[in-house]
Chain A
């Protein structure tokens, strides 16, 4: 094996950048999390208050509710995006006329800034005069009011997320599919495997790392969503779409409750980490063991 020093050198810039801009801020946030600090409180200074912020959030109904809807949101959005994204990636694997055009069309949503996506969806869904409620009403008699109907608002945020981010899944899975060797597939066809068998026994295991990476990215991005949802619903109606990113945003910006906001952020970071670690261990570890055994 070649010298590991070269390997470390290749990793060094990455570790340096992420160390400075990742670890240092995290240490600062962790420090703030153990303080009472609101610059507009009666005492504007940072006061050490032990684990009080963490104790408070365990009983904070609004926070817990927010975590609940966020997980629900992330689950539906990410699951649909993966399924739809995989389907599209498979379709793009074929040769057909106009493939380039379709591929461009299906990457368009990605280049629209989230704040604009939220605005467009908001105008499309303005009760009674947005294009969607208008046609739902005149064609199906269904009255869609995003300001009153919590379920509708939730569904719309999920649909918006799917619309905006499925292309990302398509592209990453397409890259993975493109780099697969053809041999196993040809062998399987010779052996008379059907489509489902090929997918289950060959494609899926081979692109599992790519799927996992995509799920991770989408999951953590969905957990951090702020701009789009803020523009579309502002977290309403009530708290129905007050996802945790938005919840933290409201605590840190308007309420300037830096101490508590830091504590919530640390916990959310920890929960995300645990969730991803579990997925990682469940999906990647067994495969690696199997490889080692071989």
Chain B
């Protein structure tokens, strides 16, 4: 499709959009290599001096490394769990004739609509007084955060995967079933490969939502499961915001995120739907 437009226009469009996208990221970097006082002088687009002290402070900080580790564990586990559960749910919603399934489908998304602030209180009570086994409680545990993040990530995943799942022709399942495949084999060998781009996108985006979440983590963790976003907020205080430190942490947190992205991105390619149907 759309093969006719001129390449020059195309390139120009790319460059413009990319510059607009990159500029705030570039500025984040600029902030991270400037002493605070230079942020309040006449700005310049070009960086001439580098002030690395912000990075030195951050890299040498074991607490922040701990936060980063927690973030990685929580986001990756949550994204994996959510993608898997959403995949199964969407398969069920798409392939089975379940009573009231459209209502269930719509209900899942309502879990993402709640304005978080007031829901923190019941979450806090659930985490500190309901889910308690002896000394252990869900509060301040990584497991707790992984489960909690399902409330906003599962609905999202189900809603992004459902169109993909509906788009995979049922004839394929049926053909495989006729050939004697079990339900598990159908899912694993027919549907899963075709849903790959959708699953990759779902994984990436749920990972991002979990990685960036702030309010729930800030309220429901304190020592063991604190994430890097809550660590960032420690630099926003009543006496002042440490822009430089905050920016350098943010720049460093881009690295693990980029690694995860590049690992998953290669799965976002055209599926095999076309060829499969033709056969």
Contact = CB atoms under 8 A, between A and B. Distances in A.
Establish whether A and B are touching in the complex (CB under 8 Å).
yes
Interface of A: 1-2, 4, 6-8, 10-11, 13-15, 17-18, 20-22, 24-26, 28-29, 32, 88, 90-91, 93-94, 96, 100, 102-117, 119-121, 123-124, 126, 129-131, 134, 163, 167-168, 171-172, 174-176, 178-183, 185, 195, 198, 203, 206-207, 209-210, 213-214, 216-217, 220-221, 223-224, 226-227, 231, 244-245, 248-249, 251-253, 258, 261-262, 264-265, 268-269, 272-273, 276-277, 280
A181 B277 contact: yes
Given A4-B97, A269-B114, 10 more contacts: A11-B98, A28-B121, A104-B258, A107-B265, A113-B232, A119-B246, A175-B202, A178-B269, A227-B215, A276-B113
A120 B113 contact: no
Given A7-B96, A7-B98, A120-B28, A265 B119 contact: yes
Contacts of A273: 110, 113
A11 B104 contact: yes
B117 A6 contact: no
Interface of B: 1-2, 4, 10, 13-14, 17-18, 20-22, 24-25, 27-28, 31, 39-43, 45, 85-86, 88-89, 91-93, 95-98, 104, 106-123, 125-126, 147-148, 150-151, 154-156, 158-160, 162-164, 166-169, 177, 183, 194-195, 197-198, 200-202, 204-205, 208, 211-212, 214-215, 228-229, 232-233, 236, 241, 243, 246-247, 250, 253-254, 257-258, 261-262, 265, 268-271, 273-274, 277-278
A174 B269 CA distance: 9
Contacts of B166: 209
B269 A11 contact: no
A149 to B, nearest CB: 19
**Chain A at the B interface: SS class:** helix
B258 A1 contact: no
Given A18-B154, A22-B151, A245-B115, A113 B214 contact: yes
A253 B118 CA distance: 9
Nearest to A172: B160
